[in-house]
Amino acid sequence: MYEMNPLGKSDLQVSPVSFGCMSLGENPVLYKDLLRRAVESGINYFDTADLYQKGLNELYVGETLKPIRKNVIIATKAGNQWRPDGSGWDWNPSKEYILKCAEKSLRRLKTDYIDLYQLHGGTIDDPIDETIEAFELLKQQGKIRWYGISSIRPNVIREYIKRSNIVSVMMQYSLLDHRPEEEILDLLHQHDISVICRGAVAQGFLLSKPADNYLQYTDGEVARAAKMLAKVAAESERTKLEVALGYIWAHPAVATAALGVRTSAQLDEAILALRHAAPLSDMQRMALRQSVRSFHYEAHR
């Protein structure tokens, strides 16, 4: 049976599998069923953002989870500002903008507080201290309980480690994107900051999606990694999803893997993986890791 994991220095305890809400869709019968069934099955962390569906995603999550608000952890994000004509969005990490966004997110989520408020990106040229001031003020006001960032940029992550009280970093991490292993995972763990992992199945290429180019890997290299993962799954009598997650869970910095859930079948898979949540053995992990060549972050170092 799985155990809840502490989220960094916070008092939040999160399920090893969490619900990425970005793909929920707009069918209320379906998304309400998915969210409620996830809670009933032990998933307690739900990750959304004001960017998703121009705020509607927060509204759907808030409405559905309101009756059981105290039993769940709701995380959302801010920093991307939709253009007035809706053609796209621009980056805005200013204190004024983040404070405004928090108020709007609270209303849409139908809650008095956000458990984890995250900066939805970030660059080294941002007014980082101003951004941190916004999060600290929201925390003092009781509007957010904790805060973190969503970023894969080592230079940005290092600055927030040094200058802020973040409890988490959401980042892409998988067998096919093991760049965080070079430095960032250990650094975060040393500072008691947890990783919320996204992209653990590499867009499905590690499961059943036909191989194609992915990041720096050719389709042949992707196919080889997927084949090795399937071999480990068969030998250990685990599903391929369980093995893909077991790979990232093996690092102690990882608190939860946010899986994008869009269908009932995807939720069933996620629930099964949660029930059997366990890291891979060192030997299994090494076999997988040796099936792909190493690569590192080239930009934003």
Active site members: 52
Which helix (H) or strand (E) segment holds residue 213: the answer is: none
The secondary structure element, H or E, covering residue 173 is none
Is 122:18 a contact under the CB 8 Å cutoff?
A: no
**What is the C-alpha to C-alpha distance for residues 238 and 153, in angstroms, rounded to an integer?**
33
Q: Which of 279, 277, 288 is nearest to 229 (CA)?
A: 288
Helices and strands counted in the chain (H then E): 10, 12
144-150 and 168-172 beta bridge pairing: parallel
Neighbouring C-beta atoms of residue 106, cutoff 10 Å: 20
Q: Which bin fits 252, alpha (ψ -120 to 50), beta or left (φ > 0)?
A: alpha
DSSP 224-281: HHHHHHHHHHHHHT--HHHHHHHHHHTSTTEEEEEEE--SHHHHHHHHHHHHT--PPP
User: DSSP assignment of 85-143, as one string?
Assistant: TSS-EEE---HHHHHHHHHHHHHHHT-S-EEEEEE----TTS-HHHHHHHHHHHHHTTS
Q: CA 297 to CA 152: how far, in whole Å?
A: 9
